[in-house]
Chains A and B, each alone.
Chain A
C-alpha cells in the first residue's frame, strides 16, 4: 500500500479531530449541567477549558497545513484535508457557544433560574449526541448516517420554539423577568446553533465522499415554518 506514511498521518489527524470533538461535547453538556445546578465553579472551569479547545484546533490546523504543503494531496485526499479545516472551525465555534452558556451562568450569579430547566438540557443532549454521531460518520465516511443526521435538527428547532414561547409567556406576565428570560433564550439559541453546525459537518462528510457540496435540507429551511 503506497503512501503508508501519509495514511498514518491522516489517521492521526482524524484521531485528533475526534479528541477535539469530545472536548467540545463535554463543554456543551457541562455548560448546561452547571447552569442547571447553578455551579459557578464548574462554569469557570468550562471557560478555562475553552482555551485548550482553541489550542487544539490550531494544532490540528497546523498539522493540516503541513500535510497539504508536503504531500500534494489530490482528489479525495484534498477534499478530506480541506474539509477537515472547515470542520475543526465548526467545532471551535461550538466550543464558543458552550463558553457563552458558561458565561451566562456566571453573569446570572446568585439570581435563581426563571424556571426549572427541562427543554434546554434536552436540547444540549440532542446536540451533543448529534455531534458525536456526525464525527463518527466523518471518520468512517459513512454517507448514509451523514445524510440522515441533519433531519434531527428539526427536533432541536422544535424545542427551541417551545423554549421561546414559554419564556415569552413569562416576560408578558412579569416584565421584570426579561433579563433572566433573555439569558435563557440566549442559551437556547446557542444550543440551536450547535445543531445547525452539526449539519454543516454532515454536509462536509458527504462532500468528502462524493465531491458534491449540497445543502442537506432541514425543515427550518422551508419558508413559512419556525
Chain B
C-alpha cells in the first residue's frame, strides 16, 4: 500500500516555554504513518507536554509559547491562520483518566460529530455503531446506548472515550497514559484495540509503563530532562532496538531500571 506521507507528523526544533521556563528544548523527530510510536522517560521529562503539542492543547495554558514546527502532512499546525478546530479534529486525544461526559453513551459518541454539523439521526447512529465497534465496546453496550456513560466500568469508560475520539475520524490519535488508571485486563484490551485500529490511524502514546511501550509500539522515543530541567529527546529508534540494544547509556539505564 502506498502512503503519500511516510511521516505523518514531523517535529522540527520544537521548544515549549511556560513564561521563562523552558519545558521542551529542540525536539526533532518524525512519526511514521500507521504505526504506533511510544514516548517514554522519567516523570517530569516533558512527555505529556510534547504530546499535547500535537493537538495544541498547550494553548490552554495561559503563558505557553511554542517555537519550532510541527508538520502534520507537511503543514505546520502552529502557523498563523491555522484553524485550530480542524487540527483538533484531525488529531484526537485520549486522556489518562477516563473522562466521559455526563450524557448517555450515545450522546457521548455523537458529541464530536454534532460539533461538525452532522444532524441526521441515521448518520449519527451509523457513526455510533462504527466507533463503538472500533473501540471494542459495541457488543457490551449496544442494548444500553441511552444509559449514562458514567454507569460503565473504568475500562469500559476509557473505551468509550476512545470511541468518542474515533467518531470524528481523526488521522492521528494521541494517548496520554491511557491505561494507567485501569486494571491489567482492561489494559490488555486497550492494547489489542490499538493493534486493530493502527491500520487506519497513526498512534502516539505516552506511557511510563515500559513493558507496555515494549509490547505495543513500533517506534520508541526516549526523553529526559537536561541540567536546565528542559525536556529533550535523547534517543529515537525501533522499539526492538531500544529495548534490546539501546545506543545511549541513559536510555539503557532507564529501560533496565538502573536510573534513579
Is there a contact between chains A and B in the complex with CB atoms less than 8 Å apart? yes
Is B257 an interface residue, CB under 8 A from the partner? Answer: yes
Chain A residues near B260: list those with CB within 8 A.
1-2
Binds A, one of B147-155, B159-167, B244-252: B244-252
Task: Name B243's contact: one of A1, A3, A75 (CB within 8 Å).
Answer: A75
Interface size band for A: 10 to 19
| 1/0 contact string of A56-96 vs chain B (CB within 8 Å) | 00000000000000001111111100000000000000000
B235 → A minimal CB distance (Å): 12
Q: Which residues of B contact A2 (CB under 8 A)?
A: 257-260
**Residues of A with C-beta under 8 A to B255:** 74-75
Docked Cα-Cα span, A77 to B243, in Å, equals: 10
Give Cα distance in the complex from A75 to B211, angstroms: 12
The residue in chain B whose Cβ has the minimal distance to the Cβ of A82 is B244
Given contacts A72-B211, A76-B252, contact A1 B245 (CB under 8 A): no
Q: A211: CB under 8 A from chain B? A: yes
**Is the CB of B210 closer than 8 A to any CB of chain A?**
yes
The answer for the CA separation of A150 and B220 in the assembled complex, in Å, is 37
Within 8 A of A (CB), among B198-249: 210-211, 214, 243-246
Q: Is the CB of B256 within 8 A of A3?
A: yes
Closest to B258 in A: A2
With a CB–CB cut-off of 8 A, which chain A residues contact B214?
74
Closest chain A CB from B215 CB (angstroms): 11
- Please give me the residue from chain A that is nearest to B257 by CB atom: A3
- Cβ distance A175 to chain B, nearest Cβ, rounded Å: 56
Complex CA gap A2/B257 in Å reads: 7
Please give me the residue from chain A that is nearest to B251 by CB atom: A75
Interface core residue of A2, A75, A77 (most chain B CB under 10 Å): A75
Which of B246, B256, B259 sits near A73, CB closer than 8 Å? B256
Task: Select one of A1, A72, A211 contacting B244, CB under 8 A.
Answer: A211
Contacts of A74 in B (CB 8 A): 210, 214, 243-244, 255-257
Besides A75-B246, A78-B243, 20 new A-B residue pairs in contact (Cβ under 8 A), listed by A number? A2-B260, A3-B256, A6-B257, A72-B210, A73-B256, A74-B210, A74-B214, A74-B243, A74-B255, A74-B257, A75-B243, A75-B244, A75-B245, A75-B252, A75-B255, A76-B252, A76-B256, A77-B256, A79-B244, A211-B245
A-B contact pairs, 14 of them (CB 8 A): A1-B258, A2-B259, A2-B260, A3-B256, A6-B257, A74-B243, A74-B255, A75-B245, A75-B246, A75-B255, A76-B252, A76-B256, A78-B244, A79-B244
Using CB atoms and an 8 Å cutoff, list the residues of chain B in contact with chain A.
210-211, 214, 243-246, 252, 255-260
Closest 5 A-B residue pairs measured CB to CB? Answer: A211-B245, A74-B255, A74-B243, A3-B257, A75-B252
